[in-house]
């Protein structure tokens, strides 16, 4: 029996959620699934789909309030005879959950990478999101969460029955990451960004938003330079805090020591150019960049917060430290720069950890099992 699947995600920007949906869509067997994707039209998401037979239907999720989306989704569900709707993201899910319920005869799966409590929105809007989330949660047959911490939150705080919450870690295509073959890319990216081939490059990758804690990394860098004058800080990403972070770097007299590279799609090559990846986040779900850096055998310095501590074993596959602590960042970065053998050992352990725990094949198989359990009990 072929299962008809509808994926719904807002795709207002191409992030970890979009990438995971693309991985699942690409990995599911066409012999078992007929797939349709509803999202805001976006080049990055569409280009990441290798299965060109899937049906892509663009819908505009940019407006906070757009009731017409419910009726459009109902029509898609009925016309395509959808068996399972799989949604992700508060805005898309609000409409998709209601549509699936009203369409009738359709199972609903929800991926939760960040609970409503963690959204970076004003308090009143967050409470509105939470209210509608509570109303629609009872119509969800299965919740897929990306960490054990999120599973606990969904059960303990949201009151979801434990059997409805499935933890599935994000996965990485390990065969696409070749640390030993990346020397050429290392130098290419450095030349492109005006970085010396022999300089020590400390990197960070992500949206320039408050959750990522990049200001603490910038504040740590004067201390790094005292011990390692040739070091440079490479920030890759775009976002609303770009100007603020640039002002901070100038205030610390770091303007010529910090490179703001903006958004880049060649993340493997960018990682190859780095000696250390730093993840100074204050709030995370289960970031893909950690897995990518581990697959590239890069030593990682990261904050000891939910999500990250499920990815990194402190002192073995990375270094964990308290959030909002520039001095701790300085100490850990300098420690790795001054001890190359330690950096290599941590990077090597990180690669092994990904190969064991975070393969994309494991993620796809576990998701397939969720779908099959719903079809069998239909």
Q: Note whether 353 and 219 are same-domain residues.
A: yes
Give the pLDDT band (50/70/90) at residue 42. Answer: confident
Mean pLDDT of the chain: 91
Q: Do 69 and 160 fall within a single domain?
A: yes
Integer Cα distance of 306 and 66 in angstroms: 33
pLDDT digits (tens, 9 = 90+) for 79-116: 999 999 999 988 899 899 999 999 988 999 999 987 66
Q: Are residues 266 and 366 in the same domain?
A: no
Tens-digit pLDDT profile for residues 277-296: 999 999 998 999 999 999 99
Mean pLDDT value of segment 198-209: 94
**Whether 151 and 178 share a structural domain:** no
**pLDDT given at position 41:** 85
Q: Of 138 and 249, which is predicted with more confidence? A: 249
Shared-domain flag, residues 182 and 106: no
pLDDT tops 90 at residue 187: no
Select the more confidently predicted residue: 346 or 42. 346
Cα(235)–Cα(241) distance, integer angstroms: 12
Contact of 225 with 257, CB cutoff 8 Å: yes
> 186 and 167, same structural domain?
no
Within this chain, do residues 321 and 196 fall inside the same structural domain, yes or no? yes
User: Residues 298, 364: one domain?
Assistant: no
pLDDT interval class at 253 (50, 70, 90): very high
Q: How many domains are contained in the chain?
A: 2
DSSP 53: T
What local confidence, expressed as pLDDT, does residue 32 receive? 93
Q: Does 348 share its domain with 368?
A: no
Flag whether pLDDT at 210 surpasses 90.
yes
Q: Which domain holds residue 77?
A: 3-171+359-376
Q: Which residues pair with 110 in a beta bridge?
A: 87, 143
Are 93 and 116 spatial neighbours (Cβ–Cβ below 8 Å)? no
Confidence (pLDDT) at 377: 67
Residues 246 and 162 in one domain: no
| Predicted local distance difference test score (pLDDT) of residue 185 | 75
C-alpha pair distances (Å), 232 with each of 229, 279, 337: 8, 16, 12
Residues 46 and 133 in one domain: yes
Shared-domain flag, residues 345 and 201? yes
Q: Quick: pLDDT tens for 128-145.
A: 666 666 666 778 999 999
CATH number of the domain that residue 318 is part of = 3.40.50.2000
Structure tokens at 128: 């509105």
pLDDT at 125: 62
């Amino acid at each position: 029996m072929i299962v008809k699947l509808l994926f719904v995600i807002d795709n207002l920007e191409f992030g970890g959620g979009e990438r995971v949906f693309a991985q699942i869509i690409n990995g599911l067997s066409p012999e078992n699934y007929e797939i349709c994707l509803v999202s805001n039209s976006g080049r990055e998401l569409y280009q990441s789909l290798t299965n060109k037979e899937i049906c892509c239907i663009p819908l505009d999720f940019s407006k906070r309030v757009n009731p017409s989306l419910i009726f459009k989704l109902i029509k898609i569900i009925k016309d395509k005879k959808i068996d399972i709707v799989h949604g992700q993201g508060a805005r898309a899910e609000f409409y998709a959950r209601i549509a699936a319920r009203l369409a009738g005869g359709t199972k609903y799966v929800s991926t939760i990478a960040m609970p409503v409590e963690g959204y970076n929105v004003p308090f009143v809007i967050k409470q509105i999101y939470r209210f509608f989330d509570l109303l629609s949660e009872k119509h969800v047959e299965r919740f897929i969460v990306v960490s054990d911490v999120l599973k606990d939150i969904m059960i303990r705080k949201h009151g979801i029955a434990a059997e409805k919450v499935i933890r599935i870690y994000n996965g990485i295509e390990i065969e696409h990451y070749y640390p030993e073959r990346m020397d050429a890319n290392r130098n290419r990216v450095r030349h492109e960004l005006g970085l010396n081939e022999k300089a020590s490059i400390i990197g960070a990758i992500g949206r320039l938003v408050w959750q990522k804690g990049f200001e603490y990394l910038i504040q740590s860098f004067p201390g790094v330079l005292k011990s390692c004058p040739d070091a440079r800080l490479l920030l890759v990403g775009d976002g609303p805090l770009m100007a603020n972070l640039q002002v901070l770097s100038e205030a610390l007299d770091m303007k010529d020591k910090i490179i703001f590279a903006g958004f880049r799609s060649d993340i493997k090559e960018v990682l190859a150019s780095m000696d250390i990846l730093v993840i100074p986040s204050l709030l995370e779900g289960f970031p893909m960049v950690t897995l990518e850096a581990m697959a590239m055998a890069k030593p990682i310095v990261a904050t000891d917060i939910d999500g990250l501590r499920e990815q990194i074993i402190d002192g073995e596959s990375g270094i964990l430290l308290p959030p909002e602590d520039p001095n701790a960042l300085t100490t850990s970065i300098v420690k790795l720069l001054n001890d190359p053998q330690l950096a290599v050992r941590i990077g090597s352990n990180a690669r092994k950890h990904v190969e064991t725990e975070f393969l994309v094949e494991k993620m796809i198989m576990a998701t397939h099992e969720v779908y099959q359990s719903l079809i069998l009990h239909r």
